[in-house]
Structure 1
């Protein structure tokens, strides 16, 4: 299945005292890719039910190479590695043309904000996510 691919800019202020992109800011880069997948691209396909109805359960990140400020955006590929009744695990690869900087994953749970509880993914959401599934 195809991966979701987006370009995410690195900001000058993302760098720490050593000139590296700070680890917390790297999580922000992942968030931008996640927002593009679940909110922007999903909405373009008529799915708005993710908005305000997803919560992050966990993140893992493995830093492969130091990342520095650059004027060109980074490429972040996102794909689904597990689809459960109420949650989804996604993986990320943060890279440019020649270097992989980080590999990461997040688990997100579908959430009923009105009832304040986890909910099941609906059929449209599952169908959308299946397009990016890669075991």
Structure 2
């Protein structure tokens, strides 16, 4: 079972801007109450972001978006996620794109349930000089592909 990431097919234009990261629940993700531990959800979000902004651009022959730090996470747990055998996915899109930051929205879901919704704020960071920076035009262009058409900057 391999984790995968893709953009949703274009036939659903209302959701074509969403990045899709699919994965399978691992036994180690299940806690003593027989559902996925809440801390694992943040790991799923991180995995989705890494594929979205690093692996996918590299596979497409583009520069990855580098030097981002999370400044805020907020998560709402909707339905307990148990050790399901089918793939679960993180659907991610951009809700607010600014010069030096952007907000992501997520749904952790399958075809029947939304298990959690979340948001994160990510800021551009100059690792070498240990300070905030602005996103480059190329980074903004890549990030903007995940903004819904009606919200494009």
TM-score normalised over the length of structure 1: 0.93
Of the candidates 45, 48, 52, which is equivalent to residue 30 of structure 1? 45
> Which of these residues, 109, 115, 118, is aligned with residue 104 of structure 1?
118
| More deviation, 82-91/38-47 | 38-47
2:96 corresponds in structure 1 to 82
Q: 2:139 aligns with which of 104, 125, 128?
A: 125
- Deviations along 1:90-119, one digit per CA (max 9) or x if unpaired, are 000111111110100111111100000011
Moved over 2 A (4+): 42-45, 70-73
> 1:82: how far off?
0.5
Q: CA RMSD in A?
A: 1.2
Contact 1:74/1:95 (8 A) holds in 2: yes
Q: How do residues 37-116 of structure 1 correspond to structure 2 at under 5 angstroms? A: 37-45=52-60, 46-48=62-64, 50-51=65-66, 53-116=67-130
Aligned length: 133
Instruction: Give the TM-score taking structure 2 as reference length.
Output: 0.82
1:86–1:110 Cα contact (<8 Å) kept: yes
Alpha-carbon displacement from aligned partner over 1:41-70 (angstroms, at most 9, x marks no partner): 12234123x23x111101000111000112
Deviates more, 1:33-42 or 1:67-76: 67-76
Unaligned stretches of 5+ in structure 1? Answer: none
**Comparing 34-43 and 102-111, the one that deviates more:** 34-43
3-state SS of the aligned residue for 1:58? strand
